[in-house]
Structure 1
Amino acid sequence: MSSLVTKAVGGIGCAVLGLPLLAALTIAALLGSALPGASMSAAAPSKHALADIPPHMLALYQRAAPECPGLSWTIPAAIGKAETDHGRHPTMRSSAGAIGPMQFLPSTFKAYAHPVPPGGKNPPTPWDPVDAIYAAVRLLCANGAKNGRNLRRAIWHYNHADWYVNKVLKIADGYGAAEPAPTGAASAAVAFALGQLGTPYVWGGDGPSEGGFDCSGLTQAAYRAAGITIPRVAQAQYDAGPRLPNGTQLAPGDLLFFGAGPHSITHVALYTGGGRSIDAPRPGAVVRQGPAGTSAPSFQGTTRPAARGGRT
């Protein structure tokens, strides 16, 4: 049995080139929905956020943010706080004619109101929190928030004042829980992975000596560099754990898993902090860093190999 075949036994592990075309396309679709389209909404709410934001509004901010890849839920939440204290303002109508919990001018809201979000009104209205929050996310995305291109510019377009931008960013910073500091092993794994940016994707690849990495080859090599041995394919890495309970605050070095279910893991990425991860995505691509993707439907869970020890 060749080394390439050996690596593929026991799990898919993002090895799609040798699959029948239909299966390959199915997995490619899963991977496409898993990673690049998700936001930094994985950031856990801080204690302050949980105390300050009504639960139904917090859920809406977190649900709407993935509509804009790379946008943290904390930004629309901070705007909701700055505008109407999350809808607590008694009238929610400004002297300029802005209305509703996110303070939209009717003409501006109309430009970002469609498609009607799940649970929204039909026709949509800026008075409805669901419609308003989704429209706010779309407005931010259209003006620079997508993938963090120019977040300050995006917020400035919401209210044309630098003081407003600073206020929103300060509120948002207080809403996100601080990430745990990475251990020595996690730091080593992240540093190794970041050093591979731009390396080609190669099915079954374990590194530049084989032309590049596939997804689980990259994560295995990263942890090998940190002095921790993990299995070769994505499913086996997921099964090996240690798995984290749902809702656990992510830490740099955590592994993020995607697929059709917990027994059908097809992709793995390494969390690098700040709502971002690094992965070897698919044939024809290179090792990249981008949004973590934990709000995607295909996200299945997280493991923390660094908890086993390794470098200190």
Structure 2
Amino acid sequence: MKLVLAAMTIIVAIPVALAAFLIHLASGVTGTTGSHPGAEALADIPSDYLSIYRTAAATCSGLDWTVLAAVGKVESNHGRSTLPGVRSGSNSAGAQGPMQFLPATFAAYRNPIPPGGIDPPSPYHPVNAIHAAARMLCHNGAKDNRDIRAALFSYNHSTAYVDQVLAIARDYNRAPTTGPAAQRAIEFAMQQIGHRYVWGGDGAHEGGFDCSGLTKAAYAAAGITLPRTAHTQYTAGPRLAPGAPLLPGDLVFFGNPHTKIHHVVLYIGDGKVVHAPTFGQRVQVAQLASLGPHAGATRPAQGRGESSAASAG
């Protein structure tokens, strides 16, 4: 069932969530049990998949969503692999879909159909596939955390595979490097991926976001009020010292601070940001370095009982 990660094509922009996923997205990333996603998980896992992993893992007592997500990472890079068998057909071993099920195995674990899944169940549909994977792991040792290694070995009979999945799960399970307000702002922004850029837009009810509309709405979800434009958000601070390392949740600004700041992005860690770029594009994740030199950064959550100590993002 294992696909070779080195052959995967990793894309920065996360796909627009399919309509079938809306029930998961509506519940929000924080509405399920398990460990809280840290910056690495938020930066690496598409928001629709993250929601499904957490919802599916919650159906099995003792199964942390990070293990389920790590399986999805190894099998198909969370559905982003372009190798045969992920989106259609089968690979050379006969495995299918983002969780790389053999047809007979998927048939054994595909029911009941979860909310957001399709009928008949399909191994290519993320909701059906991820819930089936959770049932398989639960049946083979993950329930009540009895023997997670045995559960993973049943999924792929390789100790190297088990070790790889558990290592990725540990990375996803790292405690957030920032406080709850910044973390909530990141989660909100990641849930908006795929919405259109709309100049002056403040949310889906207006058809989408512009750059500062997204950051304002993200921090509003965390209980912090920001000014409306990129320039006024920059002047609102609190500003970081030039060259200070960024923390997830920091706002990074572009333009001339003396005349006009014209763009703002939300730093999510690992050198990545989420932002609403410009006309004709959608809310997406990007490498901060790809956006060119920035004018400065602020830490809106500072002063709300959250750490002001910077660390490498």
| Fold shared, TM-score > 0.5 on shorter chain | no
If asked which structure has higher relative contact order (CA below 8 Å, sep 6+), I would say: 1
What TM-score comes out, normalization by structure 2 length?
Answer: 0.44
Larger-Rg structure:
1
